Structure 1
Amino acid sequence: MDEFFDLPTLIVIAIAVFVLFRLRSVLGTRTGTERPPVERRKPADPVAKDDVVVPMQPRGTAAPELDDDRRNRKLEAEIEQFARSDAELATGLRAVAEVDPTFTPKSFLEGAKQAYEMIVTAYASGDRATLKNLLEKDVFDGFQSAIAEREAAGQTVDFTFVGLPKVEFSDAEYDRKNVLVTIRFHAEVVSATRDKAGTLVEGNADQVQTIADEWTFQRNPKSRDPNWKVVTTSQLD
């Protein structure tokens, strides 16, 4: 018994008791009522979509009729700007906007510019898939036929779209079924057509040329498809 309670043994026992006490004070004890680890940290409330998107109007400060009034004034200002004092064109643009609430002259003109560049570039490269999505069937068939003739002759086109220095509305109307908007494009391009041997047969690879076209875009305002398609094309002198 005296050997069991010698001084070194008592020191070791004292140290062990001290360590256990410190571990208990730091880690605590389980009572059986603790929440699982995933519940201990409450997740943040999901961010509402309205808080992500910056509202164009402060909530609750503008009545719907005032919003409509602002939109109408903005639309009328755009019509006056793009109609260029042409009363008949202004009337046509108003008719289109009345049956197609998505239409505004400014946004339409920007979309028409993009469509024009895509179409003339796709035509030069023979990209039928792009043309098919943007052209009405009869117009696509005409472009497709010209591409096929060019390919059969072994011709290729080196084409660079430079820009559109002038784009303007020419006509607009609603024919009780479709809305139709006609645009005049004055484009600058570099185009050179070569035969199988690489000989230049048309155009100039080192010179910018100006081309002028008048295209009509059409859409059924009752359709769920928001896309416009080109239904007529003509080259201006």
Structure 2
Amino acid sequence: MGEGFQLFDIILFAAIAAFLVLRLRSVLGKRTGHEQRPSNDPFQQGQQKRPNGQDRDKVVPMPDRSRAEDGITDEELRKAAEKADTPLSAGLTQIKLADRDFDEDQFVQGARGAFEMVVNAYAEGDRKSLRQLLANDVYQDFEQAIEQRESAGQTLETTLVNIREAEIIEAELQGRTAFVTVKFVTEQINLLKDAEGNAVEGDPEHVSDVTDIWTFARNTRSRDPNWTLVATRSPE
């Protein structure tokens, strides 16, 4: 009788353990709200859908698979990187090695969209949008500037008239992290107003030429296809 109860206990504990494992797997397999990106994230626009309807960021990449779509193998890409005549072309080739879906034209389009979103969010003091697009240190710089503006009772009105140029000028792969730097030449109207609505800086009728250099980064092993702004600077 005692042995029978022991056997029953073993079966019961095994069933409970199996149930807990299944529950744990179901929880670990879910994304939390903190991982979500903006619904209109520029680096997601234009992403192709898989036949089963899943987004690309939900598909595990296969880095060792040959590029059947263009007939280029990994070995050919490595040789191309070694033969590259500029650091930029070598860097882009290395990124393509690590991220089989990287496309320069699509990236530039996404970068243009990101630039517009960040500029508008900064002017509006939209911390939520900025937080989702910027690296921590870059976000802190933006937030500090917004806080100083708000403390002074000032508001910023920015009109992005035109993005005249968006060009990749630097690219490199550090470990599995890709860094791509883009130079933006834009036409903007910026007007800073005080609490009474008086112009403190800028002219609503004057269009300024502005050049910014932004660096975006992405872990090429991540399922998330989005890039993050990790550095900003002005031309030297």
| TM-score normalized with structure 1 length | 0.65
Same amino acid, percent of matched pairs: 38
Q: Which has the higher contact order (CA 8 A, sep 6+)?
A: 2
Partner SS for 1:206: coil
Q: Distance in 2 between matches of 1:68 and 1:157?
A: 47
**Deviation at residue 66 of structure 1 after TM alignment:** 8.4
Q: Which runs of 4+ in 1 moved over 4 A?
A: none
Q: Distance in 2 between matches of 1:193 and 1:66?
A: 51
Correspondence for 1:220: 219
Distance 1:88 1:151, change over 3 A: same
Correspondence for 2:141: 142
Partner SS for 2:116: helix
Residue type at the aligned position of 2:70: D
Partner SS for 2:69: helix
Correspondence for 1:92: 91
Correspondence for 1:234: 233
Q: Distance in 2 between matches of 1:115 and 1:69?
A: 29
Partner SS for 2:70: helix
5 Å matches for 1:188-227?
188-227=187-226
Correspondence for 1:13: none
Correspondence for 1:69: 70
5 Å matches for 1:45-64?
none
Partner SS for 2:216: strand
Distance 1:86 1:200, change over 3 A: farther
**Deviation at residue 210 of structure 1 after TM alignment:** 1.1
Structure 2, unpaired ranges of 5+: 1-49, 52-64
Partner SS for 1:154: coil
What is the root-mean-square deviation in Å for CA atoms of aligned residues?
2.5
Name the count of aligned residue pairs: 167
Correspondence for 1:124: 123
**Deviation at residue 170 of structure 1 after TM alignment:** 1.2
1:156 aligns with 2:155: yes
1:133 aligns with 2:132: yes
Residue type at the aligned position of 1:147: I
Distance 1:107 1:201, change over 3 A: same
**Deviation at residue 223 of structure 1 after TM alignment:** 1.2
Q: Distance in 2 between matches of 1:171 and 1:225?
A: 22
1:115 aligns with 2:114: yes
Correspondence for 1:35: none
**Deviation at residue 235 of structure 1 after TM alignment:** 2.0
**Deviation at residue 201 of structure 1 after TM alignment:** 1.3
**Deviation at residue 69 of structure 1 after TM alignment:** 2.8
Correspondence for 1:174: 173
Residue type at the aligned position of 1:97: K
Q: Distance in 2 between matches of 1:173 and 1:165?
A: 25
Q: Distance in 2 between matches of 1:117 and 1:86?
A: 33
Q: Distance in 1 between matches of 2:186 and 2:67?
A: 40
Q: Is the 8 A contact 2:98 2:176 kept in 1?
A: no
Q: Distance in 1 between matches of 2:158 and 2:177?
A: 34
Q: Distance in 1 between matches of 2:221 and 2:183?
A: 26
Q: Distance in 1 between matches of 2:67 and 2:95?
A: 22
Residue type at the aligned position of 2:164: P
Q: Which has the larger radius of gyration?
A: 1
**Deviation at residue 224 of structure 1 after TM alignment:** 1.7
Structure 1, unpaired ranges of 5+: 1-48, 51-63, 80-84
| TM-score normalized with structure 2 length | 0.65
**Deviation at residue 86 of structure 1 after TM alignment:** 6.6
Question: What are the Cα deviations for residues 67-112 of structure 1, in whole angstroms up to 9, with x where unaligned?
Answer: 433578xxx9xx9xxxxx9721111100111101121110000000
Correspondence for 2:11: none
**Deviation at residue 118 of structure 1 after TM alignment:** 0.4
Q: Distance in 2 between matches of 1:222 and 1:122?
A: 29
